[in-house]
Amino acid sequence: MIEIGRLVVKTAGRDAGKKAVIVDILDDKFVLLDGETRRRKCNVVHIESLDKVLKIEKNAGHDAVAEALKELGIEARVSKPKQKTARPKAKRKTQEQIREQKEEKRKLMDVFRPKKKDEKAEKEESLEAKAGLTEEKEEAKPEEKKTTEKAEKPKETKPKKLSPKKTAPKKKE
C-alpha cells in the first residue's frame, strides 16, 4: 500500500484529516509527506492510504507535488516564509553618552525635587496663611491695641507701684 506517489490522509496530530502525497520512504516506519499538510516526516501508523496514486518522482519538490495535486482538485499548503526583520542590537554606550544621561537625570531630579518641596511648602504656607490670615486680622488689631495700652499703662503704673514697694521694705527695716 505504501509507495511513492500514494495519496493518503493523516489521522493524527494537528494535520489530521488533511490529504497528502508520499514523497519518499525513509524507513520501514517513516515516510515523507507533502501536500495539504506541512512537508514532514510521518509515521506509517498515522496515515490512512487512499486508492489513488500520483505520478511523482522520488523526493519531488513542493511545486511538483502542488501541480500534481491540482489535477485532483486539492490545493497544496502554501507556506508563508517569515520576513526577516533586522533585530535591534543592543549597543554599548560610550562614556560621553553615559555622562550625558547622568546630567539629564540630575537635571530632572533638580527639576522635580524642589518643586515637590515648594509645592508642599506653598501648600503649608498657604494653609497656614489661610488659617492665619483670618486669625491675624482679628488678633493683629487687638494685639496692637493691647501692646500700645500695655506699653503705655505700665510706664505710668510701674513707677507708681514700684515706688511704694521700694519704699515699704525700707520702712519695715
Partner 1 sequence: MPKPSLRSRSLRRVFRKVPGNRVSLQYKKKKPKSARCGGCGAVLKGVPRELPFRMRNMAKTKKRPERPFGGVLCSRCMRQQIVSKIR
| C-alpha span between 167 and 163 (Å, rounded) | 6
- Rounded to a whole number of angstroms, the minimum distance from the CB of residue 41 to partner 1 is 18
Residue with cell 498515522: 46
Q: Is-contact 70 78, C-beta < 8 A?
A: no
156 class by beta-carbon count within 10 Å (0-12 exposed, 13-18 middle, 19+ buried): exposed
Minimum separation from the CB atom of position 14 to partner 1 (A): 5
Nearer to partner 1, 15 or 34 (CB): 15
Q: What whole-number distance in Å separates Cα of residue 75 and Cα of residue 35?
A: 8
Q: Are 79 and 38 in contact (CB under 8 A)?
A: yes
Site for partner 1 in 45-104 (CB under 8 A): 48, 50
CB count, 10 Å around CB of 7?
A: 19
- Residues of this chain, 2-21, that bind partner 1 according to CB under 8 A: 9, 11-14, 16-17
Helix (H) / strand (E) containing 33: strand 30-35
Q: Based on CB atoms, which residue is closest to partner 1, 12 or 109? A: 12
Tell the smallest beta-carbon distance from residue 89 to partner 1 (Å). Answer: 30
Least Å from the CB of residue 64 to partner 1? 25
Comparing CB distances to partner 1, the nearer of 9 and 68 is 9
Taking the complex as a whole, how short is the minimal distance between the CB of residue 74 and partner 1, in angstroms? 14
22 touches partner 1 by CB under 8 A: no
Instruction: Give the residue with the Cβ less far from partner 1, 12 or 168.
Output: 12
CA distance 33 to 13: 14
Binding site for partner 1 (CB under 8 A): 9, 11-14, 16-17, 48, 50
